[in-house]
Structure 1
Amino acid sequence: MEEVRTGGVILYNEKLLEYDPLTEKQEGGRLSLIIDQLQKNGLWEGAVRPADIAPMKRLRDIHDPEFLNDLHRRSYSGVDQLDDNTPLIKESFEIARFGAGGVLDAVDLIMSGQAERAFCLTAMPGHHAGRASSGFGSLVNPIAAGAHYLTKKFALKRVAIIDLDAEHGSGTQEIFYHRKDVMTISLHEYPGVTGTGHYEELGQKGALGYNLNIPFVSGYGDREYRVCIKELVEKILAQFQPEFILLGFGTNVLIDDPNSHLRVTEEGLLNIVSQVKDLADRFCSGRILSVLEGGTPGNLMARATAQHVSLLLNNLIMSVDKVNKDELISYADWYSYAKLLKAQFKKFWKL
């Protein structure tokens, strides 16, 4: 039977629901709440595609083999704790592999023309997982697996990762720090839990300027994101000319998320995603894949994720909670900081 092309798809496997760490149980597992919102808003039925488990060879492309073996052993030995934010339950490693597998499957669907865009559900964020390190809630790195897969199986020469999570994508940075074929761009709160993400972290020699950090201090929000994407990200990507964009989506940038100090509104987050989506339309024929990263589990995360999926996959804008703009902090030194970032990146790109 001939495959039918669809606008956008959601990659999911029910195995992901088995990961429900103790830190999340008061609010309910993050995925169950998100799926409920997607179903209530008519975004689930007809869009879901089954996510397969990621082959180990695909994970070994980006992670150290012994590191993966150790994660596997610790996961199946029983309940364990990598750190305060990374509990291990039995089969945690297998569940993480399904999250990465969904990204690989989404790449296949888009590159084969069976889908135009995709959103990948994961049981846990992955952007903190490095070549041989995990923690801060991450075990393996699905978005990195997807980016490398694009360069290996499909021989793409220019792939861009844009990470919008409030925490710096430390693992993603490490994995691609030496490469020019995968550009990593992270917009995040700084300083953060990982101690990484300064704007002077630009890549290794031979790949300088292909790892870009846009760090925001406490209180930055809609305007700062909008200007940085327009004045920095857009202009740099116009020169890089990505063939595919992977978007790391986190709801912890929102004003009401208790675990960050950024002040992005729900409307602002939709505008940010719209900007990135427009970049995909402009530079890579609309090929964009979004991966769920972090956020505090609860109704806010579920609602914001549904808004994201509606816009990304269907070009439809859901209603959002309005915020009085007078409540948002305005920083007089913002433009001088923007000039500082521009001066840093002008060493490698025309800005």
Structure 2
Amino acid sequence: MNYRKTRAEINTAALKHNLRWVRAASGSASILGVVKADGYGHGIKPVCDALEHEVDAFAVGFTDEALALRAACPASKHSVLILEGCQTAEELKLCVDKNFSTVVHCLQQLELLEQASLKQPLDIWLKIDTGMHRLGIATDQADLFVKRLEASSNVASVTLMSHLANADTGLPLNHFQRQQYEAIKRTYPEHRRSLHNSAALLNPQLRGEPESKDWVRSGLLMYGVNPSELTEIQKELIPVMSLKAPIIAIHDLKKGDSVGYGSQWTAAADTRIATVAIGYADGYPRQCMNGTPTFVNGQRASLVGRVSMDMITIDITHIDDVAMGDDVELWGENIDVREVARCADTISWHLLTGTSVRVPRVVKG
């Protein structure tokens, strides 16, 4: 039981709706549900339970996250891809025992795999750097790596993948990375591959038509948030997380009164404010500016004053019948998380994954 009513409501029906939108946009491709960072902050168990029959496999960041998924959802039959790959021989043995597949993105990981003593071979995803320069082998090393992987008794299959640096925008690097990827497809037509993430599905430079050998890596889209700056489809999605908190105080300020630490906001006229039980310790960003929107009793209300560790204050002067205990939505179905992110000079990924563990996830739908 939680006495504090601050919570993140997780709409699993919305999750399924969004994933089906992704599926329709992905042609005949397989869908990899990306659930790293505790299901993008939504909770690994409700997310994976809802998506078990909607995706073709799951992906996480690293081995500990893969183990957490198996512990939370022991009945899941899906393979789990470890996107950062394995760093030790022990992790490779866990991959065999737990039905994990793993990325190989460097020579050290290739050698570790070749030298491992495994009970059965693993499905390997070879990451090729087409221009992001974060993880992956150089394109001119691909042939050597593919041959060595295919020669290893520890390898069951090889999927070729790359990662886009600017899928959410129209920067020229997109064209170069797409050209590199198309060359890889032509060189290895028999292999499965993966380039498209959520934003790439919406980018005219990259969209194409995913084929049956492709894997689409579905991240932010399935959580109901449009990742693209180029294609606006937010109305077709349903936000999965609604972050809500109760009003715990109401005060009437006189013109000239200030509120909060640093007295950074001063009332220009007589003003009624509400104090809301959420703060930066809950993941609501401290850098949110005055005017950041919230939603209460069917209307938008602006943040006033600095975000504290446990509380914020909002201007409710224009809203009738606001009472103690009323819910305030910080983001969700009525307040676009992208708008809040812009007010905090950050991104929606940051807000969702940064929602604190002290905020209970309440599953709806």
TMscore range, shorter length: 0.3 to 0.5
Which is helix-richer, 1 or 2? 1
TM-score by length of 2: 0.33
TM-score by length of 1: 0.34
Tell me which structure has the larger Cα radius of gyration: 2
